[in-house]
Amino acid sequence: MSSFFGLSKTKTFKPKRNIPEGTKQYQLKRYAEATLGSGNLRVAVVLPEGEDLNEWLAVNTVDFFNHLNMLYGTITEFCTPQECPTMSAGPRFEYHWQDPTVPEYKKPTKMSAPDYVDCLMSWVQAQLDDDSVFPSKIGVPFPKDFQARVKAIMRRLGRIYYHLYSSHFHQICALSIEAHLNTSYRHFLLFVNEFGLIDPKEMAPLAELNEAILADS
């Protein structure tokens, strides 16, 4: 069975390198962990007073990537090209992969869910590991298009949540980790809603769940 801490049978995505101690991002990460521990996710997503928005977006983007990596890792044996021949979120939503920097993916390309997730996570990880995009050193500025990049990353990461709920929720329940998924997604939704990172139309596959979470928060 797949490990909860990574993809065991397919490509393994290493977690983003540790944020160096003493940096602002390290302090914000510790703050985020402390507020999450309080159990109040609505408070946990709010930008800490006096802090830089880009730094806060960076810390949380890394955390969502790492957590989604772990969650998807639990069901890789069920998410196969045979079982999931398309990257979908129910019968009404299908996603094709596009990456203008890769010749074969300049146009939207239909592929299986595991291949799509592989491309998506590799694409995100390349940006997280690029110091010119996600600087880890003190004094290195964020690029001018940083917030646009975060929006693109979050929009695509959301599709993994939608696929997990629509195609694999019964398997996640069988593994008794639905609480992990529900808490992770609730945190994700509150965060992207707080900063307007994803157009609500993009989140239509889970519209009813989203409404319930936002009404209850």
Which residue numbers belong to the known binding site for Zn(2+)? Answer: 79, 84, 163, 168
Q: Two tokens at 1?
A: 């069975």
DSSP symbol at 135: -
For residue 124, the SS3 value is helix
Pair 181, 4: CB distance under 8 Å: no
Q: Cα(156)–Cα(161) distance, rounded to whole angstroms?
A: 10
Token code pair at residue 29: 């990460």
Q: Looking at this protein, which amino acid is placed at residue 51?
A: E
Annotated binding site: 79, 84, 163, 168
- DSSP line for 64-114: HHHHHHHHHHTSTTTS-TTT-SSEESSTT-EE-B--TTSGGGSS-B---HH
- The residues with which 109 forms a beta bridge, in sequence order, are 97
Residues 6+ apart with CB under 8 A from 130: none
Q: How far is CA 25 from CA 50, 74, 173, 188, in A?
A: 14, 29, 34, 19
Q: Give the length of the chain.
A: 217
